[in-house]
Amino acid sequence: MVIQFTSVNFSYSIWTERGCVKPQWPLPENDTWSTPFAEALLNHLELFPGATVLDVAAGSGIPAFHIAEQVGPDGQVLAVDIHQHQVLRSRSSQGRQLPWLKFEVGDMRQLPPDLPRFDRITGNLSFMFFRPNRFGALQNLVRFLKPGGQIVLTFPSLGTFDSLWNQVNRAMTERGYENERKALIEYIEERPSADDARRWLQELGMEKVEVKDYPLKIATGPGRAFLEHPLLRGGFLDDIYECFKDQTLAEEFMTDISNDIESFTPLLAQRCAMSGWQPKP
């Protein structure tokens, strides 16, 4: 990944001498997952005009577009994602707007050492992808933070969808699926908690550490509506399927689970926002 920051002599149409007239890149209201997490992130992130920002695991640009609008044409925002199709999609949405925002392909766990330091580092729903060594990945990110800079990351913390995991655990126990249950427990124990995030930021010497959970209710129907739920399947149900070597057995098991959603709904996610500041010399 080769990245260059150049000065931008460009006055975006929504900016005047008095600042931002009207937001053109608000958080999308129809995104029921990324937007609520981004709201939690922005609740902690302190932006200012002219700030340089690194956004990791940027996905489709929520909230990179919004952040770029806030820092304005005197700022710089670098949004990286490991998936090229996500980067191309974001560039297509951007067009020629917000030229101080750059989308690049890159692994947030292996950023180039010559990357400049940033005033702010953000990552919406990024921390869940830091495995297997979340502390090491966080330590690597903090290296790119300026003295006095802030890092804010969000992730679904331990406690997210616990009612579902408890129901799956009970059903596996009743059916004698010991190997599958062992794999499920290992997955659950690997998930980071708010306490983990707080401890890791403190171990890295960050100041003004703040970590907070924001509950979020996810609605779903039974049967295929549950099994094919775009949020649940992509980020969570697949982890249950992966506990099974026999995918036919997995489908049978999950179909039974899906027909009894009353036993584990409502589904509650924990939106965790973690914030810390790099000490000044």
Domain harbouring 87, CATH code: 3.40.50.150
Question: Looking at residue 46, what is its pLDDT?
Answer: 97
Number of structural domains (the chain) is: 2
Task: Tell whether 247 is covered by a domain.
Answer: yes
Residues in CB range of 52: below 8 A, 6 or more apart: 5, 71, 75, 76, 77, 78, 116, 118, 119, 120, 146
* Predicted confidence (pLDDT) at residue 199 exceeds the cutoff of 60: yes
In this structure, the answer to whether residues 150 and 122 fall within a common structural domain is yes
In this structure, the answer to whether residues 91 and 184 fall within a common structural domain is no
* Across 125-147, average pLDDT: 88
Task: Tell whether 132 is covered by a domain.
Answer: yes
In this structure, the answer to whether residues 168 and 123 fall within a common structural domain is no
* Predicted confidence (pLDDT) at residue 103 exceeds the cutoff of 90: yes
In this structure, the answer to whether residues 120 and 201 fall within a common structural domain is yes
* Across 48-54, average pLDDT: 97
In this structure, the answer to whether residues 131 and 184 fall within a common structural domain is no
* Predicted confidence (pLDDT) at residue 1 exceeds the cutoff of 70: no
Q: What is the mean pLDDT of the chain?
A: 89
In this structure, the answer to whether residues 180 and 107 fall within a common structural domain is no
In this structure, the answer to whether residues 273 and 245 fall within a common structural domain is no
* Across 210-226, average pLDDT: 95
Task: Tell whether 5 is covered by a domain.
Answer: no
* Predicted confidence (pLDDT) at residue 89 exceeds the cutoff of 90: yes
Residue % of the chain over a pLDDT of 90? 74
In this structure, the answer to whether residues 211 and 261 fall within a common structural domain is no
pTM value is 0.86
| Amino acid letter for position 91 | R
In this structure, the answer to whether residues 227 and 135 fall within a common structural domain is no
* Predicted confidence (pLDDT) at residue 8 exceeds the cutoff of 60: no
In this structure, the answer to whether residues 234 and 258 fall within a common structural domain is yes
Task: Tell whether 54 is covered by a domain.
Answer: yes
* Across 164-180, average pLDDT: 97
In this structure, the answer to whether residues 42 and 106 fall within a common structural domain is yes
* Predicted confidence (pLDDT) at residue 61 exceeds the cutoff of 80: yes
Question: Looking at residue 235, what is its pLDDT?
Answer: 67
Helix, strand, coil percentages for the chain (3-state, nearest 5)? 40, 20, 40
Question: Looking at residue 187, what is its pLDDT?
Answer: 87
* Across 116-120, average pLDDT: 97
Structural domain of residue 242, as residue ranges?
Answer: 162-188+220-265
* Predicted confidence (pLDDT) at residue 245 exceeds the cutoff of 90: yes
In this structure, the answer to whether residues 200 and 229 fall within a common structural domain is no
